[in-house]
Amino acid sequence: MLKSLISRRTLTAVANAVRSVVAPVSLMLEAPVTTAPEPTGLYDADEMPAIEDIEAAAQRYAKAVDLARAGDRGKRGAKKVLDRLPAGRYGAWLVSRVASNRPRIELQPAAWSTLVDWARAHQV
């Protein structure tokens, strides 16, 4: 009984391991390659920009994509810290939370909030 239980567990583990490797590969091999239709408004043959311009545009695009990803990672990291802070003034920044359908943190430089408070008090 114990022997058959161990062999069944071993067989199940090996089968799961093989499936986890073979199944994704077979999905990639079987998937037909389809291309999207060409959008309208493409360059005509006589309007095509120079290869150098195309390369420069592709390089600028790749750099912008990398910067956007880095910015998103930076925002997520900062948000983790700010989400755990109680509302209040921290150095030059005022952290407050505003009731809305979406939870968000509202940050303002402290000088700006002081100016807004002064303007409200003086009805400006």
Q: Where are the domains of the chain?
A: 86-124
pLDDT digits (tens, 9 = 90+) for 24-76: 665 566 667 778 888 888 888 899 999 999 999 999 999 999 999 999 999 99
**Residue 2 reports pLDDT greater than 60:** no
Looking at residue 112, its amino acid is W
Distance CA 96, CA 106 (A): 6
Q: What is the DSSP secondary structure assignment for residue 101, as one 8-state letter?
A: S
Distance CA 49, CA 42 (A): 12
Asked whether the whole model's pTM tops 0.85, one would answer no
pLDDT of residue 10: 78
